[in-house]
A and B are shown apart, each in its own frame.
Chain A
Amino acid sequence: MNGRRRFSVDLKYIPALSAIILFFAAYAIGGILYGDRGFLTTRTFATLFTDNAYLGVSAVGMTLVIISGGIDLSVGSVAALTTMMLAYFTEVLHWNSALMLCVVLLTGALLGFLMGLLIDVFDVPPFISTLIGMFLARGLCFIISIQSITINDPLLRSLGKWRIKLPTAARAAAYINLSVFTFIAILIAGIVIMQFTRFGRGIYAFGGGRASAKLMGLPTRRIQVGIYAFNGFCSAVAGILFSFYTFSGYGRHLYGMEMDVISSVVIGGTLLTGGVGYPIGSLFGIMIYSVILKFISFNGSLSSWWTKIAVGVLLLFFIVMQRVTVVLANRKKRIQKQEAR
């Protein structure tokens, strides 16, 4: 047998681990500061998920994209387009809403697929390709309608309102809704894909070295196009969840969502340079984001724009930490090399 698993943490786990630690630290601090006002209740904990599940779904897809060394700026626009299509086709054109759910999911995946093709076949950098996708999807929203359309469809309404009560001792009842279940399902799918499928393992290899992956004979085209198609699908799911939250379709929905998603993924320990990252880390990235929002609302006197500042500071911290771990890893390698001499 080969060497035993040693008790030492591989440097690549550190960013994701620190995200987890940071989440619990932030949660504990919230408990100390606002515990008397119900920060630690199950209800508050549940809302960490319910309020931002759509971001979480998008973050899972984005994690795959960033691990592959790419970026996807189109997620907010594609999600907005999803809300718009769903609202317009069910409310104005009276299409079947179950059918429309399938249509928007396919549309999201198709848009992602096309962006993936653009990236792989024509060698257009992801930043540009998805910027094109972002403008296209946002533009399409307003071609469909420049107004906000309220969703009254009974199926969509009931799906959006469906929730189950969590057993809790406190007086305040805690609920989780369909968004949370969807998020968990997508998260599990993300974990399984990345950990246990050739496609997922190929994404890691691709992110670690594109040229190498090609020389190793990996199906890089299928991998790259697949990643963006999957992320397009996730954007559509996020859009559906968001429309369950607001019961409306509007071209101005979710402006700048891509930035919240990307920053959560990075805070969750995925290296922007690609090759390293875990969907579970992104879960904690989203949770940290949610906890910051909770801090602001519990404080009551802070402007909600402090969220952006806090996220900015955290991003700075995590980016610096990523650089430091890379430098440390290199130093370790050099020392090993010298010892070998």
Chain B
Amino acid sequence: MIKVKNLYKTFKTKDLETHVLKGIDLEVKEGEFLGIMGKSGAGKSTLMYQISLLDHPTKGEIVLNGINTEEMNHEERTKMRLSTLGYVFQDYALIPELSALENVMIPLLMQGHSSDEAISISRKILESIGLAERINNKPSQLSGGEQQRVSIARAMAHNPKILFADEPTANLDSVSGNSVIELFQEIHKKGQTIVMVTHEAEYAKYCDRIVYLEDGKIVRESKP
């Protein structure tokens, strides 16, 4: 599903070069729940941004679903993000002036679903994660845990092939964090491929496999 070969990422400023990723090789199988762990500054989020097509690597190859993403143009990458990938960000990344329902609807509308269809799909998924009573609330009217659940609903609504999550529990208390991870587990059980960056070992245990990054390199892999 995902094949990463010899991936490098270097940030350049006027007089400084920072090598964040230094030759990463990684493979994620369909239906796998992969955890990426490491200390702060190890390059885990940077790795996720490269393989989730939010950024361009300096060197290397990323193959998603058999397609070499470095050969894709800007529009094709946008299209692939919309059709194939789903994102859950650390700070939820919901659009503040949209209700929970509308936040979930946007990618569906962009895909060409009718408004009625988009509403129906969004409502169902929000109901399924226990937010039936909160669909018309704006993000500012929701708790952190609820916002993250809306964010997951948005990421899942268009049925992506791969779900990327960047420290999804970092801003949550343990109760909300647990419920979010349980939600991931539930989704994963239905066959969803998930790539999750986390620094919290207690949540990493739900993954099928964990890769550890240190100084821009994968130093080891383990199964919980």
Q: A and B: real partners?
A: no
